[in-house]
Structure 1
Amino acid sequence: MGSIVGAAIVSHHPGLMQCEEFRVLQGAGADSDLIPGYARLRERIEKARPDVAIIFDSHWFTTGYHLVDGAPRYQGTYISDEMPWYLHGVPYDYRGHPDLALAIEAVSREQKGYNRVINHPDLGKQYATINLVKQLRLERSDTPVVTVSSCQNCDWRHFLKSGEAIAEAVRRSDLRVLLLASGALSHKFNPIDWKPKHPRIFHESNVSRPENIVSDKGAIALMEQGRHDMVLDRWQDEYRKMPWEAFGAHYLQMLGAMGGANCRARGVALSEYENARGTGNVHMWFDGGSSEATAKVAA
C-alpha cells in the first residue's frame, strides 16, 4: 500500500533563478530567505525518502480537465515566455512516472472526476515545475516527477476532488509519494512603476497590499495549527478574493490528497514570508499521515 510521506507549499518565483550577485543587489545587500529555505526543504525530503514527487503546477493552466503529465522522461531547454530576458537557457532532464499518472486517471474516472493523462512530446513545461526540479535537485536524486495542472474553470471543491483521486491512486500503489504545491499565497502584482516601501526588495512590506499580508499570515498561522478546515471555511470570503495564485489550485489539490477538511497536518515554515513582485511567498512543510484520511493512505 502506498503512502504520502510529506507535502509542502513551495515558492517558485523566477527571481530565485537569477544569479546570487543580482539577487543581493536587488535585495539591498540581503538575499531571499527562500534560497536557504530550499536547502531546509531538501533535508526534509531526504528524510522522507520519496519514490516520486507530484508537483501541483500553478502556472500550467488548463481548461476542462486537471491534466496529469504522463511521459516517461522530460528533456529540453527551458525559456520562459513571461520573462525570457533572464529566465532562459535552463536545461532539464528528469524522469516521469507514467504508471502513477495512468492510475490517477483511472481512479478519477471511477469517481466521475476530471483528472486525465496527457503525454505529448511537444508539450511545453512551466517554470513552476522546472524551478522546483532544479532547486530541490530532483534531477540529481533521479526522483521521478509527475506534474498536475491548475484547471481554470474549477472551483475549490473540484480541486479537492482532484486531490482525493490522487490520494486513492497512491493508496493502491506501492509508492512513497511527496506532494509539492508550487505557488504563492496572495498573488497580486505590484504595478510596473511601483516604488518599494522597503529597501530590501524581498521584504514582506513590499507585498502589494497590507490586507494581503494580514490574510497570508493568518492562513500561515492556521496551517501551523493544522486547521486546514478553517482555511477552507474562509476560502470563498477571503482567500479566493485576495486571490491566491491559480485560485489556490496548488494548495487545494495537495490538501485534497491529504484529507481535505479532515487534514490536521501541522505546517512548519521553512522560510521567511517574503515579497516577490507584490505576491506573498513562503515554503511550508507538512508531514504525511497527519489526518484520519491521510493516515489511511499512509498505513
Structure 2
Amino acid sequence: MEKVNLTSSFTLLGFSDFHYNHAVLFSAILAIYTLTWAANFLLLSSIKLSQQLHTPMYFFLGNLSVVDITFSTVTVPKLLSSILHGSTSISFLGCFLQMYFFVFLGTTEIFLLSVMAFDRYLAICIPLNYILLMNDKVMVILVCTSWVAASLHSLLHTYILSHLTYCGDKLIHHFFCDVTPLIKLSCSSTSLAELLIFTEGSMVVIIPFLFILISYVLIGWAIMKMETKSSRSKAFSSCSSHLMVICLFYVTDIFIYFRPPSDYSSRYDRIISMAYTIITPMLNPFIYSLRNRDVKEALKNLFMQCFS
C-alpha cells in the first residue's frame, strides 16, 4: 500500500455516495454561504459605524462574526466543488491546513462564547463595577487569549495527525478534512491522537461549557432577585440571544465529537456537519440582530446612510 507524503493527495468523498439533486443542493448551499457573508458583514459594519454599539458585548460579537465568516469559508467552497464534480482531490498540505483552520476557528468560537458569558455575568451581577472591570485592556486581553489559545490547540492536533501514516485508497469519508475521518483513515497507531482528543480536546470543550453554565446559574440567581418585572425582562433579554447561540453550537458539537466510536457513521456525520459549518454561521447574526433593539436600530441607521 502506498503511503501518504507531502506530495500525495487525499480524496474527499463529499456527498458522491448520496442520491440527491445536485443543482438544488448547490444552489441552496451557495445561497446560505452568500447570506452568511452578507449578514455577518452587515453586523460588523453596524458595530463599526454605530457609536451606541461600541461596548464590550458588541466587540466580542464582532469577533464572533469574523469567526463565522472564516469558519464557513474553510469548508463551503470545497463542498460546492464536490457537489459539482463529485469526490474531489485535496493535497496533503491543503488537507491539514483545512483541518488546522477548522479546529482553530471552531475552538475560537468556544472561547469567545465563554468570554461573552463572563461579560454578561459582570453586566448583570456586578453592574456598578462593570465598566471598571470590563475595560478596553481587559477586552483585548480576553479576545487575544481566545485566538492564541485556540491556535495552539489546533496546532497540537494538526501536528499529531499529520505525522500519522495514511495508506490505501486515501479516501476521506467527509466533505472536508476533519479529525475523526482522518483517524479512521490512518493505518498506523492512532492511540496518541485518540488520547489527545479525549483528554486535552475534551477539556477545551467541557471547561468552557462548565464556565458558561456556572455563569448563567449566577446570572439566573441575580435576575430572580431583581425587584421589578421590567428589570428581570431586560436582563434576560440581554442574555437570550447568547443562550440560543450556545445551544445551537454545543448540541451539534457534542453529537459529532462526544459519542462512542461504535456509533460513528460517516453518512450521518456529513449531514450533521453541514448544520454547524453552514447553517450556524448564517443563523448567528440573525439571532443577535432580530432579538436586539440596539442592533436593529444600528442596521436601520446604516441603511438610511447608504440609501439617503
TM-score normalised by L of structure 1:
0.30
Normalized per residue, which structure has more strand? 1
Larger Rg over CA atoms: 2
Normalized per residue, which structure has more helix? 2
